[in-house]
Amino acid sequence: MPAFGTTSRLIRAYAESNPSWEASHDGATYCRDVEEILVWGVRLFRGLAQIEADLQGRALAG
């Protein structure tokens, strides 16, 4: 039997023996999405803070 067929059979057997795997997978995917959004937010905040610091530096320099 080809490796793909064996893999498919194993995945089907696991899904049948553990019906809550999909909820766990969805939860893990959701957590990863939240982490990516937080990383984007932190980068945005740091960028804005740098822009503000540059503007303040220019204002103080005259």
Q: Tell me whether residue 50 is in a domain.
A: yes
60: helix, coil or strand? Answer: helix
What pLDDT, on the 0 to 100 scale, is given for residue 27?
83
Q: Tell me whether residue 5 is in a domain.
A: no
Task: Indicate yes or no: pTM above 0.85.
Answer: no
Q: Tell me whether residue 51 is in a domain.
A: yes
Q: Tell me whether residue 35 is in a domain.
A: yes
Maximum Cα interatomic distance, the chain, rounded to a whole number of Å: 76
DSSP state of 20: T
* Number of domains within the chain: 1
Q: Tell me whether residue 52 is in a domain.
A: yes
Q: Tell me whether residue 46 is in a domain.
A: yes
Task: Give the whole-angstrom CA distance, residue 55 versus residue 61.
Answer: 10
21: helix, coil or strand? Answer: helix
Domain holding 36, by residue range, is 21-62
* pLDDT (tens digit per residue) in 26-41: 888 888 899 999 999 9
Q: Tell me whether residue 2 is in a domain.
A: no
> In 1-62, where do the E strands start and end?
none
Q: Tell me whether residue 60 is in a domain.
A: yes
